[in-house]
Amino acid sequence: MTNILQDLSREMSAAVQRARASLVRVSNDETGAGSGLIWSSEGLILTNAHVVHQRTPTVTLPDGRQLPASVRAHDPARDLALLAVKASGLPAMPLGDSEHLRPGTWVFAVGHPWGVANAVTAGVIIGGGADMPELTGSQREWLMVSLMLRPGNSGGPLVDAAGRMLGINTIMTGPAVGGAVPVHIVRQFLRAATLN
Amino acid sequence: MSDVLQAVSAALVETVAAAEAGVVRVEGRRRLPSSGIVWSADGLIVTSNHALEREQDLSVGLAGDRRVAASLIGRDPATDLALLRAEAADLTALPWVEPDEAAVGALVLALGRPGHKVLATLGILSSVDAAWTTRAGGQIDHYLQTDAVMYPGFSGGPLVDGEQRVVGMNSSALVPGLGVAVPAPTVRRVVTALLSGRRVARGYLGVTAQAVPLPEALAQRLGQTHGLLLTHIEPRSPADQGRLVQGDTLVQLDGQPLRDLRDLQTVLGGEPGPAPVPLTLVRGGSLREATVTIGERAG
């Protein structure tokens, strides 16, 4: 006997498993840890700038390996950082479209909130852009999401129903509202990083 | 394959898109605008009263970055409703659900337009319950509560069900900290009253009162521990005309116990009839029966 809720639950778990396959942990020697994701199979790791506190943070891969990382780019204005670890054949996260996202779209956030490994929360896209009501002063583009983010989620991926990354979870503005840096801003950041 | 999940996500997006044209931005305060719902194609907009800080120089933001002037038809603070007329005659009114069709546990989206685009949060209907009285004495026909996040500027916007119908108008002010929605019958009643030029009628007694404990013997006899001590009577008010005096303690009005101010607001919350209603009070330590003709107060 199967019903639509069971199908839905199974598919949600599958989407979460796919997202977890590319989720890493970024830790510093002393001051806390955050989340990150595998950007390329050759060892490029994406996270928030505010998660990286030192020149060689440690990245814990999904398979449990702990590797020292070098900081390739660090952009406090966009709150993004690119790290590199010596590894290859890693499962890079598939990318989604953050520019044509519509309110109501189902999303998951995966990360390590309060240090709880690989935890997931679900919700919907509230909206996006540079004119979000509680962040009008920031002059930055945000994807606002109606889901729970907590310390430790920072740097982790926001993914859609197909497990594609839409953004990097970055802030919480309320108990059940958070903001992510959209993936098209990540691309800007990477273009700027390679030009420098 | 994730067929159901993607279909759910697409259906949520579609629901937002279907209601989008009926969700407007209401510019009536200095800080963040609030939201409103198109009530009729010829320009009637229902919105949240508490987010309307001014009565002049109002405007309404429509889908497609259109912005039109609006005037205030009336407001009812007790139910947190206000009615505007936008200068547009080609709007899209949203269909409403009658509360008896609203089911606890149903998926709902809260929509708002504090900026240029419609925004959405998702939740369920947490409670569908009987009529209730707001703190300000407003009668709301059904209690509707959701766990969908009331994002900044969402007050006055619709709570929408899976069939793209409005379950109620969201208000984050009626019960602080909770997302409560005002259902169709209440909105209809208030809109009708405001349109007819009346303000919403509410019973009026003309007293200032506070709850006080009753002497034990009286309390046992009446089955209530408290009554309402009258500390002030407005001259020529219904209370004055009914010969109530300062120092009287009211214990019953129209057959309902008066144990605190909320009880009084509840009795006075409905539209008053023309006939005198019975009143029980304590004067000089003994119970007395009296009658009073409840007056009518707007707003």
**Structural domains of chain B, count:** 2
Q: Tell whether B70 and B185 lie within a shared domain.
A: yes
Domain stops at, among B198, B231, B247: B198
Q: Which residues of A touch B5 (CB under 8 A)?
A: 8, 11-12, 15, 106, 161
| CB neighbour list of residue B220: distance below 8 Å, 6 or more residues apart | none
Q: Where are the alpha helices (DSSP H) in A42-166?
A: none
Q: How far apart are CA B54 and CA B71, in angstroms?
A: 11
**pLDDT of amino acid A1:** 52
Q: Is A88 a catalytic residue?
A: no
Report the amino acid identity of residue B104. V
Q: What is the pLDDT of residue A84?
A: 97
pLDDT band at A2; cut points 50, 70, 90? low
Q: What pLDDT is recorded for position B182?
A: 98
The C-alpha atoms of residue B44 and residue B88 are separated, in whole angstroms, by: 9
Residues A96, B9: Cα–Cα separation, whole Å: 14
**pLDDT tens sequence across A64-120:** 999 999 999 999 999 999 999 999 999 999 999 999 999 999 999 999 999 999 999
- Regarding whether B232 and B186 lie in a shared domain, the answer is no
- For residues B118 and B12, membership in a common domain is answered with yes
Residue B207 and residue B189 share a domain:
no
* B291/B50 Cα distance (integer angstroms): 36
Dist CA A126 CA A147 (whole Å)? 10
Amino acid letter, B60? V
Name every residue in A having a CB less than 8 A away from some CB of B: 4, 7-8, 11-12, 14-15, 102-106, 123-127, 129, 131-134, 144, 146, 160-162, 174, 176-177
Q: Which CATH number covers residue B294?
A: 2.30.42.10
| Domain final residue, candidates B151, B169, B198 | B198
Same domain flag for B60 and B13: yes
The pLDDT, as a whole number, for residue B203 is 75
- What is the predicted pLDDT for the residue at A158? 98
Does residue B227 share a domain with residue B150? no
Element (H, E) at A112: none
pLDDT of residue B170: 98
| Token output for B1 | 């394959």
pLDDT value, residue A119: 96
DSSP state of A133: G
The list of chain B residues with pLDDT below 70 reads 1-2, 198-202, 269-272, 297-299
pLDDT tens-place string over residues B265-296: 777 766 667 788 899 999 988 899 999 988 87
Which percentage of chain A shows pLDDT scores above 70? Answer: 98
Q: What is the pLDDT of residues A155-167, one digit of tens each?
A: 999 999 999 999 9
With respect to CATH, is domain A17-84 assigned 3.30.930.10? no
d(CA B173, CA B51): 9
Collapsing DSSP to helix, strand or coil, A105 comes out as coil
* B156, B279: one domain: no
Compute the average pLDDT of residues A137-152.
92
Distance from CA of A156 to the nearest CA of B (A): 21
Using CA coordinates, name the residue in chain A closest to B4.
Answer: A8
CB contact under 8 A, B120 and A126: yes
Q: Which residue from A104, A106, A132 is facing B5, i.e. has the nearest CB? A: A106
Q: B138 near A122, Cβ under 8 Å?
A: no
User: Are B238 and B281 within one domain?
Assistant: yes
Q: What share of chain A is helix, strand, coil (3-state, %, to 5)?
A: 20, 40, 40
Please identify, among B180, B198, B216, the residue that sits at the C-terminal boundary of a domain. B198
User: Does A127 sit within 8 Å of B117, measured CB to CB?
Assistant: yes
Q: Which amino acid is at A56?
A: T
Q: What's residue B299's pLDDT?
A: 44
Distance CA A190, CA A182 (A): 13
Sign of the dihedral defined by the CA atoms of residues A52, A140, A160, A93, in that order: negative
Q: Within this chain, do residues B193 and B209 fall inside the same structural domain, yes or no?
A: no
Q: What is the pTM of this model?
A: 0.81
* The pairing of beta strand A157-160 with beta strand B286-292: unpaired
CA distance B180 to A104: 20
Residue keyed to tokens 């009530």: B39
Q: Are residues A124 and B15, on separate chains, in Cβ contact within 8 Å?
A: no
A102, A134, A164, A173: best to mutate for the B interface, most B CBs within 10 A: A102
- Nearest CA of chain B to the CA of A171: how many Å? 15
Q: Given this model, what pLDDT does residue B134 score?
A: 86
Rounded to the nearest angstrom, the gap between the alpha carbon of residue B17 and the centroid of all alpha carbons in its chain is: 27
Q: What is the CATH number of the domain that holds B10?
A: 2.40.10.120
Q: What is the ipTM of this complex?
A: 0.90
Distance CA B86, CA B165 (A): 22
The Cα A36–Cα A49 span in angstroms is: 11
CB contact under 8 A, B149 and A174: yes
Distance CA B79, CA B77 (A): 6
pLDDT at A168: 98
**How confident is the prediction for chain A on average, in pLDDT?**
93
What is residue A32's predicted lDDT score, i.e. its pLDDT? 79
Tell me the two tokens of residue B156.
């006055």
CA A32/CA A35 separation, integer angstroms: 11
- The whole-angstrom distance between A63's CA and the closest CA on chain B is 24
Contacts of B56 (CB under 8 A, 6+ apart): none
Predicted local distance difference test score (pLDDT) of residue B200: 62
- Short-list B186, B81, B181, CA closest to B126: B181
Query: Per CATH, which fold does A106-188 belong to?
Result: Thrombin, subunit H (2.40.10)
Q: How far apart are the first and last CA of chain A?
A: 58
Structural domain span for residue B107: 1-198
Mark whether A100 is an active-site residue: no
Q: B172, B51 in Cβ contact below 8 A?
A: no
Instruction: Give the other-Cβ count within 10 Å of B52's Cβ.
Output: 23
Q: At what angle do helices B3-19 and A4-20 cross, to 10 degrees?
A: 100
Contacts of B105 (CB under 8 A, 6+ apart): B124, B125
- Indicate which residue of A50, A53, A74, A146 is catalytic: A50
- Compare all CA atoms of chain A with the CA of B20 and give the residue at the minimum distance: A103
Residues B19 and B87 in one domain: yes
pLDDT for residue B198? 67
User: Residue for token digits 């005037």?
Assistant: B71
Burial of residue B109, with CB atoms counted within 10 A of its CB: 0-12 exposed, 13-18 middle, 19 or more buried: buried
Residues B182 and B279 in one domain: no
Residues B102 and B207 occupy one common structural domain = no
The residue of chain A with its CA nearest to that of B34 is A133
At B263 the pLDDT is: 79
Q: Is the pLDDT of residue A7 over 60?
A: yes
